[in-house]
């Protein structure tokens, strides 16, 4: 007979932003600052971080908190950031004129950002 592992379903609240017009590399800098922090501390950090990605992540974090509260009936004060990651999205390719009639390729990068929140026991 096999023993069945009965895992309790851990409630997670999730928010995803797709096709954000910022490179994943820039987002990961801010994401590393708030990973593992509770939501109030994470919001404070993101609010006062002078990076372009911080505004996007702040909005997404607020969305994840709302999802936790409204969809999963979680307590806002016990939430913390378990996962936050930025994956590379499709790259928009543009052309810029260069010297001697040639053209240079400009890559406008996009990314997909995901935030997962859990409740502390």
Taking 80 as the threshold, does the pLDDT of residue 11 lie above it? yes
Give pLDDT tens digits for 55-81: 999 999 999 999 999 998 989 999 999
Q: Which helix (H) or strand (E) holds 103?
A: strand 103-108
Let me know how long the chain is.
121
Determine the average pLDDT of the residues in 1-18: 71
Taking 60 as the threshold, does the pLDDT of residue 1 lie above it? no
CA gap 29, 46 in Å, rounded: 11
Asked if residue 5 belongs to a domain, the reply is: no
State pTM to two decimals. 0.85
Determine the average pLDDT of the residues in 85-110: 96
Asked if residue 6 belongs to a domain, the reply is: no
Asked if residue 1 belongs to a domain, the reply is: no
CATH number at residue 24: 3.90.470.10
Question: Could you give the number of structural domains in the chain?
Answer: 1
What is the extent of the structural domain holding 68?
12-119
CA gap 108, 5 in Å, rounded: 47
């Amino acid at each position: 007979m096999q023993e069945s592992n009965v895992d309790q379903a851990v409630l997670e609240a999730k928010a995803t932003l797709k096709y954000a017009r910022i490179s994943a590399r820039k987002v990961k800098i801010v994401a590393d600052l708030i990973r593992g922090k509770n939501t109030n501390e994470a919001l404070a950090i993101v609010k006062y971080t002078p990076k372009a990605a911080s505004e996007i992540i702040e909005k997404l974090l607020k969305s994840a908190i709302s999802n936790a509260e409204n969809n999963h009936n979680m307590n806002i004060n016990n939430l913390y950031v378990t996962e936050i990651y930025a994956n590379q999205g499709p790259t928009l390719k543009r052309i810029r004129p260069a010297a001697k009639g040639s053209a240079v390729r400009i890559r406008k990068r996009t990314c997909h950002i995901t935030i997962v929140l859990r409740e502390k026991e």
